[in-house]
Amino acid sequence: MAILKIARMGHPVLRQPTTSVDQVSAPEIQRLISDMQDTLAEAQGVGLAAPQVYVSKAVMMFFVPPSRAGDDTHESDGVPLTVLINPEIEPCGDERVGDWEGCLSIPGLQGYVPRWQRIRYRGLDAAGLPIEREAEGFHARVVQHEYDHLCGVLYPERMTDMTRLGFAEELRRHPMGRPGAKA
């Protein structure tokens, strides 16, 4: 299919809420999904939302590689690529946890972002069939991150401490601000 250009922070398409998809089987939606899959693979990311490829529609996709799956969850093998159309999310409990996030639309930067530890999400898959899951840990984090794109929100807006925003390369060289860093 096609590798699409990724919108970067500052472009207005990333600031506006998306519109819902009326017909999942429409050729333009199926082409968008296919092109987003190719773009995500090329960019070597774990998630992508339609606004990131200049389309203001409620379409997102993500996966959890085994290396990012928690050992204490039933997802130790990861989560396969999931397309989620017209999603809804809700927290399961009050617990929030912080972790480092990056974004294909904010290349080179990472920030420490608090997110719900556990969520329930629902929507439609690429075939238009209903999907509903509970997620925790990194799975929950990536779903919330991509969902935020559909709402016109970028991860720095979720940060509570802007001193924990930096270039990934510098954070790797000087890890003292990163959780688990050795003194």
Report which of residues 55 and 73 the model is more confident about: 55
Which strand (E) or helix (H) includes residue 59? strand 59-64
Helices of type H across 2-136: 27-43
Residue 71 has pLDDT above 90, yes or no: no
Average pLDDT of span 7-24: 98
Share of the chain above pLDDT 70, in %: 91
Residue 140 contacts by C-beta under 8 Å, 6 or more apart in sequence?
Answer: 115, 116, 117, 118, 119
Residue 92 contacts by C-beta under 8 Å, 6 or more apart in sequence?
Answer: 116, 118, 119, 120, 134
Predicted local distance difference test score (pLDDT) of residue 176: 59
Question: Domains along the chain?
Answer: 12-95+116-159 (3.90.45.10)
pLDDT in tens, 126-158: 999 999 999 999 999 999 999 999 999 999 999
Residue numbers annotated as active site: 146
Average pLDDT of span 57-63: 98
Per the prediction, the chain carries an average pLDDT of 93
Average pLDDT of span 94-108: 97
Residue 119 has pLDDT above 60, yes or no: yes
pTM, full prediction: 0.92
Predicted local distance difference test score (pLDDT) of residue 180: 45
Predicted local distance difference test score (pLDDT) of residue 66: 86
The dihedral region occupied by 180, where left means phi > 0, alpha psi between -120 and 50, and beta the remainder, is left
Residue 67 contacts by C-beta under 8 Å, 6 or more apart in sequence?
Answer: 78
